[in-house]
Amino acid sequence: MELLDHLALGFEVALTWQNLLFCLVGALLGTLVGVLPGIGPATTIAILLPITFELPAVGALIMLAGIYYGAQYGGSTTAILVNMPGESSGIITALDGHQMAKQGRAGVALAIAAIGSLFAGTVSTFFIAGSAGTLSELGLMFGPAENVALMVLAIVAVMVMGKGSVLNSLVMVLIGLSLGLIGTDVETSKARYTFGIQELRDGIDFIPLAMGLFGIAEILRTLETPGNGELVRARITGLWPKGADLKASALPILRGTGVGTVLGILPGSGTLLASFSAYMLEKRISRMPERFGKGAIEGLAAPESANNAAAQTSFVPMLTLGMPSGAVTALMIGAMTIHGISPGPQVVTQRPDLFWGVVC
């Protein structure tokens, strides 16, 4: 069983005490920053990127992945308790989650969110492990022309799936390309757009750019609405869900995981599409759809599971083809290049420790 060998290798890498520590620190820091109102996973990763800089590549990516789950989890916590989601998919979580919190069931809501996420995470990990081999084999057939086509697809997908007008996103893409031009041209070593500034010779550094675009800009947006992030009214009682709660959310978690796993692979879709679809699905098949938006536990369990499943499977195109599918995976790609790993299908075969270590 090749798959089992791979998973064994992955756990061997991931279970070394350094990597466990990196993962733990990442998850804690991710939750810590992600829990801050108005700060989503992409922003959290951007803010915390410098910490991983000094680590070895495997540890850095494991820590970044930890930061990502932590941020996701922290974001759900804020969405449920304060009704202030840090990212778009948290809006769905807040719909029923915050209502539950208002009814004094915040503890149950948080626990269900966590249990759903863990289940979704388990399923999608196996999914990634199973699909990685095939995809990276396909990726190895890629020449420069196929790579170009794949990159074009990734950019188009992000443009189309994001919110706002496609033309505006096109402007953003072109500006991003322009900023990427700054520095020394690899082939001819001619300086481009450095305007004689010494520091620009190596190009704009990706970390401060991401931190500014996501971190600082997001903080300024949050400041626009005074009083933001300062209301915690929900009281937490009874953390453990009752048997009835678990029973009611079991099937929604299952369905949400399925929806999220599939939708997460699509480039550019991110987690919003997944949690939204899962929510709508539950609402449609529910016998009492009017309960949704008023604290229905299915309306929390399904999108939270979908969200987490999609968050994990969105790593598939990144790890197997080297293709980022959104802000988070773009940040991870940036981190990989900083550590001297050129992302692409060869990562699976050349650095199996890295690939499987991150997956486990």
Partner 1 sequence: MVRDFFVAALAAAFALILLTFGSHLPMGTALRMGPGFVPRAVGIGLLVVAAAIALRGFLGLRRRRAVASGEPPIQWRGAASIGLGVLAFAVLIQPIGLIASAIVTVFVSSLAQDGDRIGERALLAGGLSAVAGAIFSLGLGLPLPMLPAFL
Partner 2 sequence: MWIGNAMLLIINLPLIAIWVSILRIPYRHLVPAIILFCCIGAYAVNNSAFDVVVLVVAGLFGYAISRLGCEPTPLLLAFIIGPMLEENFRRAMLVAHGDLATFVHKPISLTLLLAAGALLLLAVVPAVQRRRAEVFVE
Residues at the interface with partner 1 (CB under 8 A)? 51, 167-168, 170-171, 174-175, 177-178, 181, 185, 187-188, 190, 192-193, 195, 216, 219-221, 223-226
From the list partner 2, partner 1, none, which binds 312 (C-beta under 5 to 8 Å, kind-based)? partner 2
**CA 29 – CA 45 distance, rounded (Å):** 10
Nearest approach, Cβ of residue 40 and partner 1 (Å): 19
* Interaction partner, residue 192 (partner 2, partner 1, none; CB < 5-8 Å by kind): partner 1
Residue 209's binding partner, choosing from partner 1, partner 2, none, with beta-carbon cut-off 5 to 8 A by kind?
A: partner 2
Does 340 sit near partner 2 (CB under 8 A)?
no
Distance in Å, CB of 296 to partner 2, minimum? 16
Which residues lie closer than 8 Å to 130 by C-beta, 6 or more apart?
Answer: 3
Contact 136, 321 (CB under 8 A): yes
CB of 219 to partner 1, least distance (A): 7
The C-alpha atoms of residue 68 and residue 264 are separated, in whole angstroms, by 15
The DSSP string of 266-311 is: STT-HHHHHHHHHHHHHHHH-S-GGGTTS--SHHHHHHHHHHHHHH
Residue 23 Cβ vs partner 2, minimum distance, rounded to whole Å = 5
Distance CA 302, CA 221 (A): 29
User: Measured from the CB atom, is 69 or 278 closer to partner 2?
Assistant: 69
CB-facing half-sphere around the CA of 5: CA atoms within 13 A: 4
H or E segment and range at residue 333: helix 327-338
Q: Residue 291 is which amino acid?
A: R
Among 66, 97, 260, 264, binds partner 2 (CB under 8 A): 66
Question: Closest CB to partner 2 among 192 and 247?
Answer: 192
Which is closer to partner 1, CB of 178 or CB of 349? 178
Q: Binding mask 84-113 vs partner 2 (x if CB under 8 A, - otherwise)?
A: ----x--x---------------x--xx--
Map residues 117-156 to x or -, x wherever contact with partner 2 holds by CB under 8 A.
xx--xx-xx--x------------xxxxxxxxxxxxxxxx
239 versus 285: smaller Cβ distance to partner 2: 239
309: tokens are 């499943």
Interior angle at CA 309, CA 100 and CA 66, nearest 5: 90
Instruction: Please list the alpha-helical segments (H only) found in 49-182.
Output: 57-82, 88-102, 106-140, 144-161, 166-181
Q: Does 3 interact with partner 2 (rule: CB under 8 A)?
A: no
Taking the complex as a whole, the smallest distance from the CB of residue 254 to partner 2 amounts, in Å, to 17
Which 239-258 residues touch partner 2, going by CB under 8 A?
A: 239
